[in-house]
Homo-oligomer: A and B are copies of this chain.
């Protein structure tokens, strides 16, 4: 739909072209064309204590055209850069699977495919993100759309004005690309964001008009929030200065979701600087809630071996390792021997979670950081 490039697209395209220019320049000088790809290995990932999020180190791996073991990935890197340039020039976007299909073909004169399957193109897209310093959304690629929001905010999405306080029971589907070129915040009177894990919990809060009573924005990410939801939360938090409170299950998966929202994901550390929200708070469920809220045995779900293993791993994350409260929280989970879901609070009362649990935590500023 775009007729000319916006500033951000022009910038991304410039970076992609520089990459290509370096390669052709080397070739013209009869030097081996190569690119230095920042290493996306665990050993090149560090927790930055002052920025409070996960960052990539400075290690790079050289990828050469005239190297039998690297020639294919070199070619694939060039293909992804070229595909992304095409998308930007045409003002169109596609899914990462779409790009795979777009670039896949039999190499002329051979029986070799450019990409065997999507497992080969996805990591190259991640390479391209770090190489060009762009989010994949800026490369005009998107991941799954999931997650919904509602609340006291008006935004402009692709020219349409969306009043999120008038979205009925369904809510506004958070797009997979929530970049400023697509989404603009027009007016916001909400004072904070309540992010819940699942659609079912979100629906309880929406039905009880929690966001009206407490003047907030209510979001969910359908489990681990997809990139669009994380970028939306990041932008709401940073541009509109809205605190983010997370209401997640009392289990290692809930802790992990919080960890990714707060500090970024280990696999995609390079995106943390534009996705991580170090000030996000963990409102619950807490391991102590079983006693504190006088819950019945019916809420207990026994921990399995994977849960216990994951709990220990998470307790050792550098950003949790030195936090007494988090160590207590995870220790108590393991001592309890059971996990709990937010939905189980219904055993107290249908609206216990919206009328008592959450308001009490917010009022007492009772959360984990």
Contacts and interface: CB of A to CB of B under 8 A. Distances in A.
Interface of A: 1, 86-87, 90, 92-95, 97-98, 101-102, 104-106, 113, 142, 144-146, 148, 156-162, 166-177, 182-183, 199-200, 202-204, 207-209, 222, 296-299, 341, 343-347, 350-351
Given A1-B209, A170-B175, A346 B299 contact: no
B161 A166 contact: yes
Given A204-B94, A209-B1, A347 B102 contact: yes
A-B complex: 8 closest residue pairs judged by Cβ atoms: A157-B168, A95-B200, A104-B298, A170-B175, A170-B173, A169-B175, A145-B199, A160-B168
B172 A346 contact: no
Contact of A170 (B86, B105, B157, B347): B157
Contacts of A169: 157-158, 175, 177, 182-183
B97 A343 contact: yes
B94 A350 contact: yes
Contact of A344 (B92, B101, B297, B343): B101
B298 A113 contact: yes
B172 A102 contact: no
Contacts of A105: 296, 298, 347
18 contacts: A92-B208, A94-B200, A94-B350, A95-B343, A97-B200, A98-B200, A98-B204, A104-B347, A105-B298, A106-B298, A144-B200, A145-B170, A157-B169, A161-B166, A168-B175, A169-B177, A169-B182, A175-B203
Contacts of A296: 105-106
Given A106-B297, A171-B173, 8 more contacts: A92-B351, A97-B341, A98-B343, A101-B345, A157-B170, A168-B183, A170-B173, A171-B175
Given A144-B199, A350-B87, A350-B92, A299 B101 contact: yes
Given A173-B170, A175-B169, A350-B94, A343 B101 contact: yes
Contacts of A345: 101
Contacts of A176: 199, 203
Nearest to A104: B298
B160 A102 contact: no
A327 B18 CA distance: 54
Given A101-B347, A145-B203, A200-B97, A158 B168 contact: yes
Contacts of A146: 146, 199, 222
A171 B347 CA distance: 34
A174 B113 CA distance: 40
Given A298-B113, A351-B92, A148 B173 contact: yes
Contacts of A182: 168-169
Contact of A102 (B92, B222, B346): B346
Contacts of A87: 350
Nearest to A157: B168
Contact of A90 (B97, B299, B347, B350): B350
A9 to B, nearest CB: 15
Contacts of A159: 168
Contacts of A142: 200, 203
Contacts of A177: 169
Contacts of A199: 144-146, 176
A122 to B, nearest CB: 14
Given A101-B343, A203-B145, A343-B97, A170 B166 contact: no
